[in-house]
């Protein structure tokens, strides 16, 4: 781990103050808790599986250190435990009955539940990671399902994070593979941010950008080590995920970590919730989304946008009423349609603003294209990296067939207001043409 860089990031972070990533790190859990919370009492939050993996040891070491420790709060294990608001309320009730600081022992679901419940109780918390499965450990906000939709609810990241490399290396390979898919998606997320910056929509924040992008190639360089539990490969992956979360703290936004690839993932996740389909690991969906976004970027970068007919696009630009009608008709689930209409209208611009944006694009396209080309990886390389890590590379493996992927390019654009390559291709009037080419028989 690049200790100097990590410590510098922690000094700038809004929430996370202490980070321990090393072999046999469980031995330092009592000291790490003391650094973060002084003499306060503790309570372990785990599920049946993570309690046996690390939660019992965490509880016992805190007790042995002479600290007041409440009885552990143990949820049923997967697949019955979900990051839904009902479980947040249950946990909030249990935590508020004590004066203890929660110590979440687990990965995505347990961390998100504890993050929001602790915040609602007015307390900081600590997390002991059990898998390098996602970047949400140190991210602000918790991804929680309420009323059938997964949404990010505002709440601080953990004050203390501890990860034992021996435990991470022995996590189920599919969990670390999912973390790799999530981290590799920062390639297209970065391209989308460069695009938004070039069009004066959302400027790149140098600190957050550097924290994620400067080491991204190194963090993702050894995917073949993940399935066999190589500690160096797992450690690099976890460092990348943690620093990505801290970048989100710095920017107070998920922009450093999330772009068009996450639009696909979020769409498929919301559709699955609406139709009662079995959940698929977040990072697996992001990996497929990264392949989809990369394919679109490759198509786009082969075009000469300096010859773009701007006035034709301005004449064809839909009104807000037309946007609302088309978006609502495109989504089969009423609640999802409502959300998509709200997000689409939030980023819909006037014809005059479109003219200005496309004029800027046309004038700066050679420079923008060069920046994007340097940021992106070839689709074949993305697929090879994902496969080596143990991630699926065929959308059918996550329950999304080829026809549904094609439709997803149009739908994914509508569900979030963040500007990505999906918006650009739509605005220049080439979304349908790009899909005709990408999904032509000879392409598959």
Q: pLDDT value at position 201? A: 98
* Model pTM score: 0.94
pLDDT range class, residue 146, cuts 50, 70, 90: confident
Range of the domain at 124: 3-171
Contacts of 93 (CB under 8 A, 6+ apart): none
Q: Looking at the domain assignment, is residue 120 inside a domain?
A: yes
Per-residue pLDDT tens over the stretch 368-392: 999 999 999 999 999 999 999 999 9
In a domain, residue 371? The reply is yes
**CA 258 centroid distance within chain:** 6
For residues 129 and 167, membership in a common domain is answered with yes
**Within a domain: 224:** no
CATH number at residue 33: 3.40.50.1970
32 and 165 part of one domain: yes
Q: How many residues does the chain have?
A: 444
Instruction: Say yes or no: 380 and 322 in one domain.
Output: yes
DSSP reduced 3-state for 18? strand
Averaged over 199-222, what is the pLDDT?
96
Q: Which among 260, 124, 121 is positioned nearest to 192, based on CA atoms?
A: 260
Query: Band of the pLDDT at 101, cuts 50, 70, 90?
Result: very high
**Dihedrals φ, ψ of 144, to 5°?**
-125, 140
Percent of the chain with pLDDT over 90: 87
Q: Are 33 and 161 in contact (CB under 8 A)?
A: no
> Does 17 share its domain with 121?
yes
Q: Which of 118, 153, 171 is the last residue of a domain?
A: 171
CB of 126 closer than 8 Å to CB of 158? yes
Assess whether 95 and 189 both reside in one domain.
Answer: no
The answer on 85 and 64 residing in a single domain is yes
**Mean pLDDT score across all residues of the chain:** 95
Same domain assignment for residues 147 and 193: no
pLDDT for residue 442 = 62
Q: Please state which of the ranges 73-82, 284-293, 382-391, 403-412 shows the lowest mean pLDDT.
A: 73-82
- Split at pLDDT 50, 70, 90, the class of 111 is very high
Does 124 share its domain with 187? no
Q: Is 210 among the domain residues? A: no
Q: Which helix (H) or strand (E) holds 411?
A: helix 402-414
**Averaged pLDDT for residues 8-34:** 94
Question: What are the tens digits of pLDDT across the range 275-317?
Answer: 888 889 999 999 999 999 999 999 999 999 999 999 999 999 9
Residue 197 and residue 149 share a domain = no
36 and 145 in a common domain? yes
243, part of any domain: no
85-111 mean pLDDT:
96
DSSP 3-state percent helix, strand, coil across the chain (nearest 5): 60, 10, 30
pLDDT, residue 406, reads 98
What angle separates helix 282-301 from helix 186-198, to the nearest 10 degrees?
Answer: 50
pLDDT at residue 6, as a whole number:
84
Residue 443 has pLDDT above 50, yes or no: no
Are the beta carbons of 304 and 296 closer than 8 angstroms? no
Residue 103 in this model has a pLDDT that exceeds 80: yes
Region for 156 from its dihedrals, namely left if φ exceeds 0, alpha if ψ lies in -120 to 50, beta otherwise? beta
User: pLDDT band at 2, cuts 50/70/90?
Assistant: confident
Examine residue 118 and state whether it is found in any structural domain, yes or no.
yes
More confident residue, 405 or 1: 405
The arithmetic mean of pLDDT across residues 32-55, rounded, is 97
Confidence (pLDDT) at 444: 46
User: 190 with 309, same domain?
Assistant: yes
Mean pLDDT, to the nearest integer, of 409-414? 98
Coil, strand, or helix at residue 221?
coil
How confident is residue 207, by pLDDT bands cut at 50, 70 and 90?
A: very high
What are 253-263's pLDDT values in tens digits?
Answer: 999 999 999 99
SS3 assignment, position 227:
coil
In whole angstroms, what is the distance from residue 146 CA to residue 138 CA?
A: 22
- The C-alpha atoms of residue 430 and residue 304 are separated, in whole angstroms, by 12
- 17 part of a folded domain: yes
CATH number of the domain enclosing 316: 1.20.1090
Confidence label for 3 from pLDDT (cuts 50, 70 and 90): confident
Are residue 357 and residue 290 in the same domain, yes or no? yes
How many structural domains is the chain composed of?
Answer: 2
Spacing of C-alpha 266 from chain mean position: 10
Beta-ladder partners of 149: 146
DSSP type of residue 439: T
């Amino acid at each position: 781990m690049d200790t100097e860089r990590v410590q510098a990031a922690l000094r700038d972070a809004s929430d996370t103050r202490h980070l321990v990533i090393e072999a046999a790190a469980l031995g330092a859990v009592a000291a790490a808790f003391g650094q973060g919370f002084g003499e306060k009492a503790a309570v372990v939050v785990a599920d049946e599986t993570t309690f046996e993996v690390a939660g019992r040891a965490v509880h016992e070491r805190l007790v042995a250190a002479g600290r007041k420790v409440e009885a552990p709060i143990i949820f049923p294990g997967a697949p019955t435990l979900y990051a839904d608001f009902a479980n947040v309320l249950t946990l909030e009730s249990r935590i508020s009955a004590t004066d203890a600081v929660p110590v979440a022992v687990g990965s995505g679901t347990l961390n998100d539940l504890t993050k929001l419940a602790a915040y609602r109780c007015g307390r900081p918390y600590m997390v002991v990671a059990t898998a390098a499965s996602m970047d949400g450990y140190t991210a602000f906000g918790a991804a929680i399902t309420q009323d059938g939709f997964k949404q990010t609810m505002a709440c601080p990241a953990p004050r203390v994070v501890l990860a034992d490399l021996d435990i991470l290396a022995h996590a189920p390979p599919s969990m670390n593979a999912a973390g790799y898919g999530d981290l590799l998606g920062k390639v297209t997320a970065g391209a989308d941010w460069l695009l938004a910056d070039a069009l004066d929509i959302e400027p790149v924040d140098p600190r957050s950008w550097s924290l994620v992008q400067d080491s991204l190639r190194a963090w993702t360089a050894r995917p073949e080590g993940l399935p066999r539990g190589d500690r160096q490969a797992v450690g690099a992956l976890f460092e990348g995920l943690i620093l990505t979360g801290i970048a989100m703290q710095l920017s107070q936004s998920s922009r450093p970590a999330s772009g068009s690839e996450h639009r696909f993932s979020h769409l498929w996740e919301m559709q699955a919730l609406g139709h009662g389909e079995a959940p698929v690991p977040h990072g697996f969906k992001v990996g497929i989304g990264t392949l989809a976004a990369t394919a679109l970027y490759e198509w786009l970068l082969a075009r000469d946008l300096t010859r773009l007919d701007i006035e034709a696009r301005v004449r064809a630009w839909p009104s807000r009423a037309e946007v609302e009608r088309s978006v609502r008709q495109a989504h089969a689930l009423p609640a999802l349609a409502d959300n998509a209409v709200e997000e689409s209208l939030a980023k819909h611009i006037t014809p005059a603003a479109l003219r200005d944006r496309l004029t800027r694009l046309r004038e700066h396209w050679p420079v923008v294209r060069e920046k994007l080309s340097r940021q992106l990886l070839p689709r074949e390389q993305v697929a090879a990296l994902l496969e080596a890590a143990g991630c699926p590379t065929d959308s059918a493996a996550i329950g999304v067939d080829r026809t549904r992927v094609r439709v997803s390019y149009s739908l994914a654009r509508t569900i979030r207001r963040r500007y990505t390559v999906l918006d650009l291709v739509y605005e220049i009037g080439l979304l349908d043409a790009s899909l005709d080419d990408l999904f032509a028989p000879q392409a598959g």
